[in-house]
């Protein structure tokens, strides 16, 4: 999602509360196309693998993905190994220490067991994976059995994420999910049977046709599954996506009213916290000790290395995105090149703005520490921080800047304002 210019609202209701948090700053329009990043030196970082295939395409999804065909993985997997080979040949991994590894997508659990095992093994042998590294396999119900998951565990996977979204089959059907509620429960049971303790599930609120009663049921069913970590996302509709068109045509009912969506958010916070899974980010809840390292490093300005079509990477001020067009990804990997579609080197101010905006996804940041790391004085953003404080969206607590409860609701607005200098 790009950073857009915004007008100063006159009333609280004018603030954006849609949950469409900033993911790209500087704006993607400013990134250079076809420019390869210099060879990188990796120290403490994370790795993300994007498996860009799904059995079905969800009506709400905006991620890089394609419908799985019989030959899809046959074309992708050899190119993935070549991309790893290229990074090993060009980058300095001598001091690499992996903090987390996330196999996502798309649908990472569509990978064959041997490919999952080989990827994790290469992370261990070449990229700095340690015994205590968090290794997550993102899974869709119905794609892996308990036997498969035991193989993944033996390979080094120690965390499984299941995209459940809802426990009502009519809602799942409207999302074009390929599973039903019974398959979701069976998948969670398979994780337990495989001996993987760290189970995470994704659920969504604000779905078209979703009632408060449905949301309460979904929240409770998650707790019944014995999860250690949850993500509760508000559905964000983009005008050109399938779901928005279906609502406009009347084929599916509209989203709940904004007040009901706010009630859903509050119910999740209250219920999960009471059950011993307090909120530690805008969307994440975890039993203490099971906070997701990958989630944290996504938001706190850490370095990360992405593999696969459409994957992102960051090393200090350098950002780059792999080709989203699969033919271009195949071409570059076949020729021993990094499959980079576009890249940008952030200025110190852009770095600070990005790290402040994204860091607040973790509910609080240390502005002075981020300014020192970016190599710029905090004066450059003091005006917008004062404005956000005056609007009661953030408040100072010692060295920290923390989102208020209104700031949590209007986090999109906070992030837009922090990154709006590009257009001023």
Residue pLDDT tens, the chain, 424 long: 222 223 333 344 467 776 666 668 999 889 999 898 999 999 999 999 999 988 755 555 555 555 667 688 999 999 999 999 999 999 999 999 999 999 998 899 999 999 999 999 999 999 999 999 999 999 999 999 999 999 999 999 999 999 999 999 999 988 888 889 999 999 999 999 999 999 999 999 999 999 999 999 999 999 999 999 999 999 887 777 777 888 888 888 889 999 999 999 999 999 999 999 999 999 999 999 999 999 999 999 999 999 999 999 999 999 999 999 999 999 999 999 999 999 999 999 999 999 999 999 999 999 999 999 999 999 999 999 999 999 999 999 999 999 999 999 999 999 999 998 765 5
Q: Give the rounded distance of the alpha carbon of 88 from its chain centre.
A: 25
Residue 10 pLDDT: 36
Residue 266 pLDDT: 95
Q: What angle in degrees, to the nearest 10, is found between the helix axes of 146-155 and 113-126?
A: 10
Residue 12 pLDDT: 43
Whether 154 and 192 have beta carbons less than 8 Å apart is answered as no
| Second CATH level (architecture) for the domain 32-298 | Alpha-Beta Barrel (3.20)
Whether 201 and 222 have beta carbons less than 8 Å apart is answered as yes
Whether 254 and 247 have beta carbons less than 8 Å apart is answered as yes
Whether 385 and 394 have beta carbons less than 8 Å apart is answered as yes
Residue 142 contacts by C-beta under 8 Å, 6 or more apart in sequence? 178, 179, 183, 186, 187
What is the distance between the alpha carbons of residues 70 and 35, in angstroms, rounded to a whole number? 33
- Which of these, 135, 78, 83, 88, lies nearest to 112 by C-alpha position? 78
Domain 1-26+348-424 and domain 32-298, same fold? Reply is no
- Which of these, 158, 92, 108, lies nearest to 308 by C-alpha position? 108
Domain ranges of the chain: 1-26+348-424, 32-298
Q: Per DSSP, what are the bridge partners of residue 205?
A: 234
Residue 59 pLDDT: 54
| Second CATH level (architecture) for the domain 1-26+348-424 | Orthogonal Bundle (1.10)
Whether 261 and 232 have beta carbons less than 8 Å apart is answered as no
């Amino acid at each position: 999602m790009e950073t857009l210019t915004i007008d100063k609202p006159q009333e609280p209701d004018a603030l954006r509360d849609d949950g469409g948090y900033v993911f790209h700053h500087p704006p993607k329009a400013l990134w250079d196309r076809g420019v390869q990043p210099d060879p990188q030196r990796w120290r403490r970082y994370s790795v993300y693998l994007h498996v860009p295939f799904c059995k079905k395409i969800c009506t709400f999804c905006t991620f890089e993905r394609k419908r799985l065909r019989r030959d899809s993985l046959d074309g992708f997997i050899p190119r993935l190994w070549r991309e790893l080979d290229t990074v090993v040949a060009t980058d300095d991994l001598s001091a690499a220490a992996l903090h987390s590894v996330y196999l996502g997508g798309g649908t990472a659990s569509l990978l064959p067991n041997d490919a999952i095992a080989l990827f994790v093994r290469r992370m261990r042998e070449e990229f700095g994976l340690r015994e205590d590294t968090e290794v997550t396999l993102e899974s869709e119900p119905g794609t892996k059995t308990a036997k498969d998951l035991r193989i993944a565990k033996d390979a080094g996977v120690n965390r499984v994420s299941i995209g459940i979204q809802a426990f009502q089959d009519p809602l799942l059907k409207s999302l074009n999910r390929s599973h039903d509620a019974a398959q979701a429960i069976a998948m969670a049971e398979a994780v337990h049977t495989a001996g993987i303790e760290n189970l995470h599930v994704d659920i969504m609120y604000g779905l078209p046709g979703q009632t408060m009663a449905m949301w309460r049921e979904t929240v409770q069913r998650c707790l019944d599954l014995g999860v250690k970590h949850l993500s509760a996302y508000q559905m964000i509709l983009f005008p050109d996506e399938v779901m928005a068109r279906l609502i406009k045509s009347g084929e599916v009912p509209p989203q709940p009213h904004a007040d009901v969506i706010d009630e859903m958010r509050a119910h999740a916070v209250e219920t999960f916290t009471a059950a011993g899974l307090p909120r530690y980010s805008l969307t994440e809840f975890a039993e203490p000790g099971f906070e997701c390292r990958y989630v944290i490093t996504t938001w706190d300005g850490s370095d990360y290395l992405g593999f696969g079509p459409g994957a992102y990477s960051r090393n200090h001020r350098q950002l780059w995105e792999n080709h989203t067009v699969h033919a271009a990804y195949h071409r570059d990997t076949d020729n021993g090149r990094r499959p980079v579609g576009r890249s940008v080197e952030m200025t110190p101010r852009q770095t600070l703005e990005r790290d402040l905006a994204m860091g607040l996804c973790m509910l609080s940041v240390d502005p002075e520490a981020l300014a020192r790391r970016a190599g710029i004085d905090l004066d450059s953003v003091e005006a917008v921080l004062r404005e956000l404080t005056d609007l009661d969206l953030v408040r100072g607590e010692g060295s920290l800047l923390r989102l208020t409860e209104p700031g949590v609701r209007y986090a999109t607005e906070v992030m837009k304002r922090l990154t709006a200098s590009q257009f001023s």
